[in-house]
Amino acid sequence: MSVRIAVLGAGRIGQVHARAIAENNTAILAAIADPIATAANAVADHYGCDVRTIDEIAASDDVDGVIICTPTDTHADLIEQFARCGKAIFCEKPIDLSVDRVRACLDVVNECKAVLMVGFNRRFDPHFAALKAAINKGDIGASEMAVITSRDPGAPPLDYIKRSGGIFRDMTIHDFDMAVFLMDEMPVTIQASGSVLVDPAIGAAGDYDSASVILTMASGKQVTISNSRRATYGYDQRIEVHGSKGMVAAENQRPVSIELATSSGYTRPPLHDFFMTRYIDAYAHEIAAFIDSIVNATPASPDGQDGLNALRIADAALLSAQSGKAVHL
């Protein structure tokens, strides 16, 4: 059985997902929607799919699921619309920047018994997935402490930052999701510090560009997170989890792994400089998991509750950074 998928939004991430569907043996890219006709047509031409409006897709009998890649402020409405018409839904994170709006949206999803998967792509990265598998296999015994380092090659445009909800809701949220995913537990206490060290304009926009967080789980397990909006050496994405029997760590990734030795030392090339090349496999595996959940009628994961969890932690972190106090969930 093949499932037929429509992609809403023909931007950068929409194109990535369209390609993942086209290369997936179980799925067919049925339609693309985008208010910019040239963008939609480019995708349609390349993969031989239809261009339709969002409402046409909602009304289409030949579409089983949708992938929402539209601007953030449309996510919750679109989720509700497609939940109501019975389509399986994959939505890029976040569902919304407001916890209340997310809760209301998830109520609709639950009422409609809709399939909703949220785009925390890092869970599907082969390296992080192997790390999680090693933990599940018992390789490190009982998990105790995690250290997550997450630094972007460079800050996004100021305009984006202003709409992003801030570093905790936009960037650290991925680390919050990984923390909960890896430790299998929600934090009860969040301590955070935010600074402006990279670009004063980010501070002027009301945001931080550098952040550190401690999550303490009910069991006492701890996770520390270190974030920066700029890393000259590339997209720095490391996770290590320490437990009673050992530690497991996922290393950084680089496009080519050669090493040059000269009188200046031994040099390996910088890391990937873009999240899309760094996580290209993760995106494909994520879409494959969504398709599997439709084909096998199994629960989608990560789901709306995971999206809500990460957002609640982000809100607590922001409050902690602003107030200088630990925040309890």
Which residues ranging from 207 to 266 are in contact with a second copy (CB under 8 A)?
210-214, 216, 220-226, 228, 230-233, 236, 242, 244-251, 253, 255-266
User: By CB under 8 A, what part of segment 3-32 binds a second copy?
Assistant: 23
Nearer to a second copy, 266 or 297 (CB): 266
Q: How far is the CB of 283 from a second copy (least distance, A)?
A: 16
The first and second tokens of residue 128, run together, are 């992080």
Give 47 or 163: the residue with its C-beta nearer to a second copy.
47
CB 328 to a second copy: min, Å = 8
Closest-CA residue to 220 (of 173, 178, 177, 185): 185
Q: Is 198 in the site for a second copy (CB under 8 A)?
A: yes
**What residues between 282 and 321 interact with a second copy by CB under 8 A?**
none
Distance CA 188, CA 216 (A): 6
151-170 positions binding a second copy, by CB under 8 A = 151
Angle of helix 75-84 versus helix 99-111 axis, rounded to 10: 10
Q: Which helix (H) or strand (E) holds 128?
A: helix 126-136
Among 126, 138, 200, 299, binds a second copy (CB under 8 A): 126
In the list 98, 189, 301, 305, the residue contacting a second copy (rule: CB under 8 A) is 189
Residue 149, interface with a second copy (CB under 8 A)?
yes
Contact between 77 and a second copy per CB under 8 A: no
Q: Which is nearer to a second copy, 38 or 244 (CB)?
A: 244
Give SS3 for 65.
Answer: strand
The answer to the question of residue 195 lying near a second copy (CB under 8 A) is yes
CA-based nearest residue to 297, from 114, 127, 31: 114
Listed in sequence order, the residues at least 6 apart from 92 whose beta carbon sits closer than 8 Å to its beta carbon are: 13, 68, 69, 75, 118, 119
Stretch of 68-76, 171-179, 205-213, 296-304 lying at the interface with a second copy (CB under 8 A): 205-213
* Cα Rg of the chain, angstroms: 20
DSSP string covering 8-62: E--SHHHHHHHHHHHH-TTEEEEEEE-SSHHHHHHHHHHHT-EE--HHHHHT-TT
Question: Which segment (33-41, 104-112, 137-145, 295-303) binds a second copy by CB under 8 A?
Answer: 137-145
